[in-house]
Amino acid sequence: SPAVRAGRHADAAQYLLPMLSPVGSGEDTVRAVYAALANLANAGQRDAAAAAVDRLSRAPWLFEKSAMAAMLVEWAALLGRCDLAFEIANRALDRAARVGTIPPSWQILWMPELEPLRTRPGFTSLAKRLRFVEYWNRFGSPDCMRPAPA
């Protein structure tokens, strides 16, 4: 988000809190994530925030709100936990396939901050599941994106 890019982590957290307050545990996760992003050098804080993202990603209601899954993928990646980001994305896609819904919107994957996620080998598998590769073969990839081998 622009606030994160500008280093205004508290502003970013304040923007999201009203969306998560009805679900309870989301508020604590938002605060933990943005505090960790404000101080990435603190590995303990980063690990605690990633654990909070993981816990929230397992809430039964989560994938009913498709934007939440994408947001958690973003947070995991920003915290340096690409493995967790891929796990959350794949669980969201698995659920969408089971219940016959359209998967969440994944345009967040092209945020500049998520380049480390796009260059990881797991991204190719995710891109295939999202049918991006099929699209790229036909129309070209965004920003000359060349996903890492699976």
Tell me what the mean pLDDT of segment 26-45 comes to: 76
CA angle 98, 29, 58 (to 5 degrees): 25
Please state the pTM of the whole predicted model. Answer: 0.77
| 44-72 residue pLDDT tens | 888 988 888 888 888 777 666 657 788 88
78's tokens: 């920003």
Which residues are within 8 A (CB) of 62 and not within 5 positions of it... i.e. 6 or more apart? 56, 68, 69, 72
